[in-house]
Amino acid sequence: MKGQPVKLAPRARRIIAFLIDHFVITSLLVALTFLGIGPDFLNERPDISTLLSLVLVPGFILYFLKDSIKGRSLGKWSMGLMIRKNHDTTEVPSLGSLFVRNLFLIIWPIEALVLLASQGKRRIGDRVTNSVVLIDPEKPAQWKRMLPLIGACFAFCFFILMFVGVAIKSSDAYKTAIDGIEQDKELQKETGGIIGYGWMPSGNISIKNGYGEGQLQIHVKGKERDVNVQVYLTKDANHGWEVEEIEN
């Protein structure tokens, strides 16, 4: 190697960087999938396979190109690492080399074993593209590198929480559950008259081959008192959702 003195990236940092990249890109794909399907994803959709393909194909391309910005991915930047040419550590490998290098992550268990066993801390992708992962001597302060990552995690969790809540409220099962609650005379009497519902229902809805089951926990707001109810629903291939039982 030539250029300024450099240090090989510790194996632990490389593994953490890989996990960060995997989490971030997977989270992005999940978010894009939800946005593509829309809030009615809990209802049956015949075009679901096409939508998944439209998201997954670009997602894999993005994954393989994750190190294309100056030899750094978000995970490597967070860990203070960078990819450089093995024979000249001042040069970033070409875009094609970075793409090929990450193709070998398809066999990531083997790549991890090779990295752990290699004296030069290089996996198969590094050897094939003649590249090396180094500690970045110009890395920002650790808090500056961690803050965006923490922010991204909170943003993703908030997005999923909100989207799932909206999706449940948009589902046919939830609408049927609300109809059943409003027709329940005992609930109407207990609450003194229903005036609304909680902003975030919870539970699970599953549909397969036209048949479905659902269990929803819904906060019911009343004029005199609020109650929490559980609604059990079923669906067959020829009919819509039906309320089987309401508990409170």
pLDDT in tens, 142-180: 888 889 889 888 988 888 888 888 888 888 999 999 999
pTM score above 0.95: no
The CA distance from 195 to 55, in Å, is: 41
Compute the average pLDDT of residues 18-44. 79
Supply the CATH number for residue 195's domain.
3.10.450
Residues with Cβ within 8 Å of 8's Cβ and at least 6 positions away in sequence, in order, are 120, 121, 132, 133, 134, 135
In a domain, 5, yes or no: no
Per-residue pLDDT tens for 207-241? 888 889 999 999 999 999 999 999 999 999 888 89
176/156 same-domain check: no
pLDDT for 3 beyond 60 = no
| pLDDT > 90: percent of the chain | 60
pLDDT-derived band at 130 (thresholds 50, 70, 90) equals very high
Same domain, 51 and 35: yes
The mean pLDDT of 40-44, rounded to a whole number, is: 61
Q: Are strands 131-135 and 241-247 parallel, antiparallel or unpaired?
A: unpaired
Mean pLDDT calculated for residue range 51-62: 84
* pLDDT for residue 1: 46
Are residues 143 and 199 both part of a single domain?
no
Q: Is residue 84 part of a domain?
A: yes
